[in-house]
Amino acid sequence: MKNYLGETEIDICKTKYAMYSQNDWALLWIEMYSGIDGAHHKDWLLDQVARILNGCKVICKIASWSDGQIEERFSLQEPTKEYNDWVMSVISNDLGEVVFDYSTGIAP
């Protein structure tokens, strides 16, 4: 029986992703998650891509198991001011009144 050993954050600069641009990360997220059904999951994916394109940094971790299996796992740091400002521009009218609901969705 294999036991889960946990996750270790790694420096992206020391991985094959070192030269990834925001565009590359956004496309990778789409590749990884676009096939998952459910509008709430699609909302999450769109929000993640918006975060990436608005400067949220990617965190890379390696999950490992006692049998030697490893898995790359990605997440995003906290939202940037640029992202928060973008969301406000999407949901607000010219008077600054919130007129639109913005869903961050549910992670798959």
In this prediction, residues 46-55 reach a mean pLDDT of 97
In this prediction, residues 88-107 reach a mean pLDDT of 89
Q: What angle do CA 94, 55, 43 make, to 5 degrees?
A: 70
The per-residue pLDDT for 73 is 96
Q: Could you give the percent of the chain with pLDDT greater than 70?
A: 99
pTM (two decimals):
0.88
Q: What angle do CA 27, 28, 34 make, to 5 degrees?
A: 80
Are 64 and 70 in contact by the 8 Å Cβ rule? The answer is: yes
Domain ranges in the chain?
4-91
The per-residue pLDDT for 55 is 97
C-alpha 89/C-alpha 67 separation (Å) is: 49
Edge-to-edge strand ranges of the sheet holding 70-76: 4-10, 58-65, 70-76
Tell me the per-residue pLDDT of 57-79, one tens digit each, with 9 for 90 and over: 999 999 999 999 999 999 999 99
pLDDT at 38 over 90: yes
The per-residue pLDDT for 48 is 97
Farthest CA pair distance, the chain: 60
Count CB-CB contacts under 10 A for residue 21.
Answer: 9
C-alpha 49/C-alpha 41 separation (Å) is: 12
Integer CA distances (angstroms), 21 to 27, 56, 107, in order: 10, 12, 23
DSSP 34: T
Q: How confident is the model at residue 1 (pLDDT cuts 50, 70, 90)?
A: low
What rounded mean pLDDT belongs to the chain? Answer: 94
In this prediction, residues 6-31 reach a mean pLDDT of 96
